Amino acid sequence: MVGAGGKSRHDVRHASREAVASSLIRAALLGEPGWRTGWDIDDALEARRSVAMESLRERVCRENLPALRCIVGNPFRPMAFNPIWRTEHTVVIGARMYEDRDFAAMPILADALEEAGCESEAVLTHCREPGPHARGCWVVDGVLSKR
C-alpha cells in the first residue's frame, strides 16, 4: 500500500510518530489514496515497535550467548570428563576460580588439564578462549565433579 509522498507502509516503520501522523493528515487533506483510517497509524507504529523489539531481542542474544555457552557448553555434543583429568592441581585451580569467581586462570587450567592427559579440543579451546567465563562454567564444574 502506498501512502503520502509515495512511501510504502514498509518505509513508514522507520518514521517517528509525528512524521507518521503528519503524513496521514497531509494525505487525508489532499485526498490521496492509500491511508484510509486511524488504524493505519496503529499499523505503522506497531510495525515500528516490532522492528525495535526484534533489534532488542537480537542484541540481548548477542550479549548473553557467550555466557550461556560458558555455562551450558555445546548441548549437541555433551562432554564427559575423564576422572584422570581431576588431579590435585586441576581441582585446586578450579576450586579457587569457583570460590573467588575470578576466571583469569582459565588458560592455566587448560595447561594443567593438558598435563593431566586431557586431549579434548572442546575443553582446551574453551579454557583458552577470552571469555566471558562464569561460575557454573561447564569445564570448571566438570573438574570439580559438579556435573
pTM of the prediction?
0.57
- pLDDT for 116 equals 94
Contact 17, 45 (CB under 8 A): yes
The answer to whether residue 116 is domain-embedded is: yes
Residues 24 and 51 in one domain: yes
- pLDDT for 12 equals 47
The answer to whether residue 69 is domain-embedded is: no
Residues 129 and 97 in one domain: yes
Give just the sign of the alpha carbon dihedral 97, 101, 103, 106: positive
E strands, the chain, in order: none
134 by Cβ neighbours in 10 Å (0-12 / 13-18 / 19+) ranks as middle
Give just the sign of the alpha carbon dihedral 14, 16, 20, 23: negative
Q: In 3D, which of 131, 86, 93, 126 has the Cα closest to residue 109?
A: 93
Give me the numbers of helices (H) and strands (E) for the chain, helices first please.
7, 0
Q: For the beta carbon of residue 133, count every other beta carbon within 10 angstroms.
A: 24
pLDDT tens figures, 36-58: 555 566 666 677 777 777 777 78
pLDDT tens figures, 71-83: 778 878 887 888 9
> Which parts of the chain register pLDDT below 50?
1-3, 8-10, 12-13, 35
- pLDDT for 104 equals 92
Spatial distance between the Cα atoms of 82 and 23, rounded to a whole number of angstroms: 67
Last residue in a domain, options 33, 64, 95: 64
Residues 52 and 93 in one domain: no
Alpha carbon distances (Å) from 46 to 2, 18, 33, 71, 73: 17, 14, 21, 36, 37
CA-based max dimension of the chain? 82
Domain range holding 114?
A: 83-143
Residues 60 and 103 in one domain: no
- pLDDT for 1 equals 44
Q: In 3D, which of 132, 109, 124 has the Cα closest to residue 79?
A: 124
- pLDDT for 113 equals 95
